[in-house]
Amino acid sequence: MRLFFAVLLTEEAREAVRRAQQALRASAGEKGIKWVTPEQFHYTLKFLGETPEERMLLAIEAARLTATQSAPFSFTLAGVGAFPQPRRPQVLWIGATEGVPLLAGLAESLDRNLAERGFAAETRRFSPHLTLARVKSPEGQEAIAKALSAQVAELNSVDKFGVIPVESFVVMRSELRPGGPIYTVLETFALTRSGNGETRQ
């Protein structure tokens, strides 16, 4: 199974992001661009890729441990950008501001616990982002770059997309289909560590 761990959005934040995506989509169009459906908006903590069932059980064990070591927190969705750069976009995304160190800490704790069970450790610094679109052609690149340039001031206004309370994270199965991937939540992991370091029952 193709697996990844992620933090999901509240309905309010999902709607705010959807509106921003729609504004960009109306400007950039569809040609050479694969827009992510709002139901699939998420922040990836760790991508595992193809994982045999026995390895999946180890990954879930690592996630359960991470949840007991982590306290609930929140982070702010803000900032629209593109990888590798706005003038040559391949991935269009929304980032995060307030609370990023806590989100990064959760991702790093999960990565560490997975590595202790034989999974490959991350070599790149954690960069929180929610993918809005993937660009598939030079024509799409040009359209996204123009749309982003025209709307960047409005899209990057402070706290535009709201605050996400993170009380849990999930492991998702991704099934690749001709019409796009299908995501299914396999398990949810509630963050149970309290502010004083104890695990909440």
* Residues with active-site annotation: 42, 129
Cβ contacts of 13 within 8 Å, gap of 6 or more: 77, 161, 162, 163, 164
Helix, strand or coil, per DSSP, at residue 91: strand
Instruction: Quote the radius of gyration of the chain (alpha carbons, Å).
Output: 17
Copy the structure tokens of residue 60.
């879930």
Q: Phi and psi of 42, rounded to 5°?
A: -165, 165
User: Smallest Cα–Cα separation from 133: which of 56, 21, 53, 45?
Assistant: 21
Furthest-apart CA pair in the chain: how many Å?
54
Q: Phi and psi of 32, rounded to 5°?
A: 75, 15
